Structures are given as C-alpha cells and as structure tokens.
Amino acid sequence: MTKAKRPSEKALRKDIVATALAMNRSGLSPLRSGNVSCRFKDGMLITPSGQRYEDTEPDDIVFVAADGSVPGGQLKPSSEWHFHLGVYRSRPNAHALVHTHSTYATVLACAQKPIPAFHYMVAVAGGKDIPCVTYATFGTEELARHVARGLQERNACLMANHGQIALGATLSEALELAFEVEVLAEQYYKLLALGGAPHLLDDAEMTRNVEKFKTYGQKGQDN
C-alpha cells in the first residue's frame, strides 16, 4: 500500500479556513464561535482568536509550537488553543480537531447530560457513550485537562455549559463526526422530551458496534 503524502502547510491552512467556513455556514458554530486546528510539525495550526471566518485568510491561521509558544508576527491563536494542544499530546493518532457550539449538543452540555447508548450510531465516537466533561473557564489549562481526559478513549465529547469537540485523522473526518454528534444530540433531546427512561443498548452491543465501525465503508482497503 502506498504511503499517503502529507498535505503541505499551504494546503492545511486552506483546509482549516474551508472547514471553519463550512462549520459556520451550516450552523454548527454561529458567528465567531468555535475553532478548528490540525497537527503540524511539532505543534499545530489553529484559527485565530475572535476573527470572523468570512474574513479569515490562510495566512491568518496561527502556528502554535508544542510548548505552547507562538512565533512572532502572527495573530493571536484561538483562546482554546490549550485544549487543542492537550488533545494532540495525549492522542498521537489525532490530526484534526473541531470545536463547535452546535445547538442540540450545547443544550445537552448545558444540562450536563452525556449522550448514552440510545442508538447504535453513538459508537461512531469510539465508545459506548459520548461523555460530557466537567466545566471549567474557557481558555484555561484546567479545561484542557478535562478535555484531554474526556477524549482519551473517545473521538468526541461534550463540554459542560459550553459545546462539543470532535477529532479525526483529517479535518473532513473531524467535521463529519461533529455533524453526527449534533444529529445524535438532537435525537436524544427529542427522545427525552417524550418522557420516561429511554431504552439503552448494553455495553456488549456497543462494543460490537465500535468494532464494526473500525472497518465500516472502505476502511482497511488497499489503495
């Protein structure tokens, strides 16, 4: 199997802007909310702080080194750079991350409700549930620690009183997972509105589903 060529820095910068715009225009993250990053060299490339995505150019994307330092001559990185970098440190297989304030995921996050195994598609995030990590002030190392723990064995989580995070091997994969989390959050919210305790799939079934998703679609095929 031929080893995939790594995208250039220029291509990654363009992809981050395109991902942020798609996230914004789809309603996953309205206005200036949310942020996007990808692993690069010993650190990462990330969207700048508080800048409208429509006004963001590839050259505005900020490089943050592995130690959290930002080389001069750049814009300020997203205030959430701490948890992006923390995830890359703890998850070597993660190469892209999106953080959104999508409506239903944020509603559940503000109620501090994780998304349990009400549907087999919950397994797409890598486990039997999509956890909700403990609240901490945005842009802090404390929040970064909570997020890193929440994503240690999952590819997505909710952040209490905040929003959601999804990661992947590529930006498109991370964005697709964020969309799926929002769909699941909406479905679970509406299920709760029916009243009563929802029927949940057991751990053994969710383990089977997690394993099946590892080879779902064209995964594992030689190129």
For the structural domain made of 9-213, what CATH number should be given? 3.40.225.10
Q: What pLDDT score does 222 carry?
A: 46
In tens digits, the chain (223 residues) has pLDDT values of 344 577 899 999 999 999 999 999 999 988 888 999 999 999 999 999 999 999 999 999 999 999 999 999 999 999 999 999 999 999 999 999 999 999 999 999 999 999 999 999 999 999 999 999 999 999 999 999 999 999 999 999 999 999 999 999 999 999 999 999 999 999 999 999 999 889 999 999 999 999 999 887 655 544 4
Q: What pLDDT score does 95 carry?
A: 97
Domain boundaries, the chain: 9-213
Q: What pLDDT score does 215 carry?
A: 84
Q: How far apart are CA 144 and CA 138, in angstroms?
A: 9
Listing DSSP states for 8-69 in one string gives: PHHHHHHHHHHHHHHHHHTTSS-TT--EEEEEETTEEEEPBTT--GGG--GGGPEEE-TTS-
pLDDT per position as a tens digit, 8-64: 999 999 999 999 999 999 999 888 889 999 999 999 999 999 999 999 999 999 999
Q: What pLDDT score does 218 carry?
A: 57
Cβ neighbours of 199 (radius 10 Å):
8
Q: What pLDDT score does 217 carry?
A: 62
Task: Name residues whose C-beta falls within 8 Å of residue 197's C-beta, 6 or more positions apart in sequence.
Answer: none
Residues annotated as catalytic are 80
Contact 212, 201 (CB under 8 A): no
Q: How far apart are CA 122 and CA 78, in angstroms?
A: 29
Cβ neighbours of 202 (radius 10 Å):
9
Place of tokens 């479905």: 187
Quick one: CA dihedral 122, 128, 129, 130, positive or negative?
negative
Q: What is the pTM of this model?
A: 0.92
Contact 43, 66 (CB under 8 A): yes
Q: What pLDDT score does 30 carry?
A: 82
Q: What pLDDT score does 196 carry?
A: 86
Q: Which helix (H) or strand (E) holds 123?
A: none
Helix (H, G, I), strand (E, B) or coil at 217: coil
